[in-house]
Amino acid sequence: MSGFINLVKVLFRNYYRGVDLSEISDLERREFGFQFFDKEGMIRHIAFRNGDELRHYLISNVPSHVYYSSALYNDPANQDMDAKGWLGADLIFDIDGDHLPTQNCQGVELMTLECLNDATEEVNKLIDFLIEDFGFSDSSIKIFFSGHRGYHVHIELPDVRGLTDEERREIVDYLLLRGFDIERLIRGNTVLIDAGLRGIGGRLASLIHELDPDLLSTLSNDRRRLSKYVIRKLKSLNPIVSERLSTHVDEVVTMDVHRLIRMPNSLHGKTGLRVVRISPSDLERGVEFVIDKAVQFRKGSLTLRLIKKLPVRRVLGEDVSGDEGSIVKVPTYLGIYLVMSGWGEPVD
């Protein structure tokens, strides 16, 4: 196994020689953290004056995972958090397939296209919230494939960097529709539920049309004060609305103003995939296209022995089959993923 790790380190080192660091804004103000193939734990409270210093560190040390702070600091290398001099933090959202309550993601250890597709649906819902409800522009929202089973969404505007953890909690509560009550959208004969509205009112109208078209017709045509019966019927939809329209973000990541998040264009040590920026149009092209953008090590192949039977036939866009103990020959990038995530072992 040590020979395999050495091979992976060579591949990672070669990648970092030409890594694109342009996605890292305010690099000199951020704290960096690293994990390594041959060491336990994380080394953090490291700072760099420029991209050349960071690239030199990556080439010299070859970390398995690279993180940077969502926060900007006066003194990012200071190990005393209170002495770092917090200047603000990007608004970060993390959507992880591991945490989604869907059938495709629950209890699935392997990274599957089906689970990643569910995560893609969640990130599309999040982007809709950010644009339609919060008023962010397309250009202010950066979307990154996390390198594993989800996405990170960054907003780096000066206006959001000063938000406190409590203010970020309110944003999370809104995205999760925590405590949502449909009656709040009804004020006398004013009903803020209509397909022509932006934000929650428009999404809610579409959902009601799916669940009960007659109820939506009543809301659209009756301009008088709604009857108690209609209001009760609407309120009965609250649990369904919260389940279907909320977006499942990791609330701790968003609220933590000192959070470390995976560095853009770094390699994920458990998969060998790149933390790559993607566009909304990339998402529309499907999860196999997203993975294709993240794949780095296409040359050559690796021979593995499967440690356990794969629960799916298609892994990272490649057909792989075999029971426990089967010998398989796979592309290098897929071999790295299967070994590093514990599904296979290299055959010498």
For residue range 54-98, list pLDDT tens digits in order: 999 999 999 999 999 999 999 999 999 999 999 999 999 999 998
d(CA 86, CA 43): 20
User: Is 250 among the residues known to form the active site?
Assistant: yes
- CA distances to 28, 49, 248, 262 from 63, rounded to whole Å, are 19, 19, 30, 12
Count of domains forming the chain: 3
Domain shared by 271 and 158, yes or no:
yes
Active-site residue, selected from the candidate residues 20, 26, 82, 96: 96
In a domain, 116, yes or no: yes
The pLDDT value recorded for residue 187 is: 76
Q: What is the pLDDT of residue 222?
A: 61
The mean-pLDDT minimum among 1-10, 38-47, 219-228 falls in: 219-228
Tokens 């539920």 correspond to 193
pLDDT tens-digit profile of 126-142?
Answer: 999 999 999 999 999 99
If asked whether residues 13 and 158 sit together in one domain, one would say: yes
194 as an active site residue: the answer is: no
* Residues 188 and 257 placed together within one structural domain of the fold: no
Based on the domain organization, do 64 and 124 belong to the same domain? yes
Catalytic-residue membership of 82:
no
Q: How far apart are CA 138 and CA 231, in angstroms?
A: 36
Is position 2 within any domain? no
Cα separation, 214 vs 42, whole angstroms: 57
The whole-model pTM stands at: 0.92
Asked whether residue 240 falls in the same domain as residue 308, the answer is no
Is the same domain home to 64 and 142? yes
The pLDDT of residue 166: 95
Looking at the domain assignment, is residue 134 inside a domain? Answer: yes
The catalytic residue among 75, 94, 138, 159 is 94
> For residue 159, is pLDDT > 90?
yes
Same domain, 213 and 327: no
212 and 289 fall within a common domain: no
Higher pLDDT, 199 or 262: 262
pLDDT(276) > 80: yes
Give yes or no: residues 196 and 158 share one domain: no
Find the domain containing 238 and state its range. 182-244
- Annotated active-site residue in 90, 250, 292, 323: 250
